[in-house]
Each structure stands twice: as C-alpha cells, then as structure tokens.
Amino acid sequence: MAKVSIGLRGWRFEESEVFTEDGEFKPLDEIPEEPRERLVRLTYLVEEPCDACYLEHGDEHIERCAPAAIVYGEPGDELLLCDDHEADFLYWYREAGGKAHRGDPDFREQFHDWFANGGRAPDAYGGLDHVETDPDTLPAPPGPEEVHQRVNESFEGRTIDLRDDRDEETGDDEDLDLDDVDLGTDYPSR
C-alpha cells in the first residue's frame, strides 16, 4: 500500500497501518503508536491557522490568517503552514540552516524566530509539487470527540475521586497517598 497524507499534507501514513481493507479508519488501539499519535494530534490541528500568517497578523486580525494546509515537525512541536508560506519554510529548511534543527524540541520556534525577523524565500523559490490522487476518496479522520470517546472506551482502569477517600467502584474508604502524585505536570497545548 502507499503512503498518504490525512487532513493536512506533510505527515504521511502507511495506508495499511491506519485503514482497514474496507477503507475505514482502524480502531485506535490497532494503529501503531507513532502513526496513532500523529493521527490523534491531526484532529486538533486541521482547523488551526498557518503559523506564518499568525506571526504576520496576530490575534487582532486572525481572520486574515489562512487555514493550515501543511504540517511539518513532530507532534507537539509541529509547524503549520498555508500553501503561500510553504516556500518560506522550505527555503529556511534547505537554504537558511533550518535542517540543523530537525528533531529538536525548538524546531518550530527556530522557524518562528527566522520568519519574525524578516526571513522569507526569494520570489522565484519554488515549493514542493504535491500529488493529490482523488483526496475525496479518503474517509474523514475522526474528530476530537470521537478520538476522546475511543480512548475512553479502551480505558480499563478505575476512577478515583481525589476529593473523597472512598473507592468509587467498591464504596470502601481507603487512605490515598498523594505524595507520589505530580499535580504540577504541564501538558502540551496548542
């Protein structure tokens, strides 16, 4: 089977890893970890604006920002671009030292800094030629609500109310040791 982009160009998936033989998305627990992580992350990114447009217009004029069409980088540190700004990214990556930041946790920030300081591709600099073979035949990826539901369906743990010392399943009182719980953990957000 071939590799395909889903939702946004850039991240490519092996068809056999994410689709059933009938062309439907596999259940999340049947998709290998890396493509599952990217697929779940995509459900949150497809409606986001282009990073370069956002750097140009900001919150005050977010309506001027083009929607993202392309994703580069790793989940959590990805860079979202519209068709017009893809050439700027490719120039930065290929010609202006961006490739040295591949896989770094600050990949996206490095591009943002370069772009915010006036970095742009020359006018004649070409982007990539993307081949789109009947994208309408791909099923729509699951939305965030469906992903959340599928993740919760496979959860077999027990729920504990930290405000109450009773076990919800058995109703028994138990002393909870919260010394090992890290309540200050920061989670990635976009």
Give CA separation, 36 vs 5, 26, 32, in Å: 13, 10, 6
Q: How high is the pLDDT of residue 130?
A: 47
49 forms bridges with which residues in the sheet? Answer: 67
Rounded average pLDDT per 10-residue block, the chain, 190 residues:
86 93 90 94 93 94 94 92 94 94 91 96 72 55 62 55 54 55 54
Cα gap 93→88, rounded to integer Å:
9
pTM above 0.85, yes or no: no
Contact 160, 168 (CB under 8 A): yes
Q: Where are the domains of the chain?
A: 1-44, 47-124
Alpha-carbon Rg for the chain, nearest whole angstrom, is: 21
Task: Please report the sign of the dihedral spanned by the C-alpha atoms of residue 146, residue 151, residue 156, residue 157.
Answer: negative
